[in-house]
Structure formats: C-alpha cells, structure tokens
Amino acid sequence: MLELEVHDLEVPVLTGIYSEETHLPQPLRISLSVLLDAPARFAPDTPLSASKNYMHLKHAATDALPPGVHFTLVEAVADHIAETLFLQDERVRRVKVKIVKLAIAEQGESIGITLVRHRR
C-alpha cells in the first residue's frame, strides 16, 4: 500500500448552520490522506501511472467541490471529497479527510473534523 498526502489546502466553501455562516463561503483548511494499492516495488523508471498524481487529490478538495452548493455540515464536504477520490481511481482503498474551520478559531486553535472512509 502507498499513502499519498496533501495537507493544509485553504478552500472557501459554502458551509454552516448559523445564519452568519450561510450566505458567504467559509475558509476551510483541508488535509487529505489516501491509501492506494501499490506495486511490490517502485524502480527508478516506474511511471507515474503506478502511483497517483498528487494534483488529483488537490482537485478533489478544491475544483471538484460544486460551486454554489451549500453544505450544511463540513462532514458532507469531507464525504464529497472522499467519494470523488473513490470515483477517480479504483486503487483507492481508504480516504482520510481532515477539515479545520478557520473562521471560528479565536486564539489559533484548530476546530474541525476528521472523516475516514473505506472502499466498500
């Protein structure tokens, strides 16, 4: 198995349940970890197709989020990202998405969720 990671993407997302949260995108810090089936060995000339392009992970957490859609919970944002990654590549076995809601921090603390999904 191979674990690919992309950390600390800052993404504006329409999310929240309180009236002050529902009309403007909130800044979220999103980190991803994807467990992928891997070959037994990576030789010096192994092509990228034996792994996964990191930009696909970034895309799932940024451009693949539907514009104009309001996610009531950040958990739904994480689920959408996980599902996007499962649909992208059948070798993806597990997706871990960590989301920190930057707008609610008062003294630099990290407040958010971590969601883990496994391929069924």
pLDDT of residue 29: 97
Taking alpha carbons only, the member of 2, 62, 57, 75 closest to residue 27 is 62
pLDDT of residue 101: 93
65-100 pLDDT tens trace: 999 899 999 999 999 999 999 999 999 999 999 999
Side-chain-side CA neighbours of 43 within 13 Å: the count stands at 3
CA–CA separation, 76 vs 70, rounded Å? 10
The encoded tokens of residue 40 equal 């037994």
- Is residue 9 a contact partner of residue 62, using CB atoms and an 8 Å limit? yes
Give the three-class secondary structure for 99.
strand
| Number of helices followed by number of strands (H, E) in the chain | 2, 4
CA–CA separation, 69 vs 46, rounded Å? 40
- pTM beyond 0.85: the answer is yes
| CATH code at 2-38+52-118 | 3.30.1130.10
CA–CA separation, 67 vs 45, rounded Å? 39
The domain segmentation of the chain, as residue ranges, is 2-38+52-118
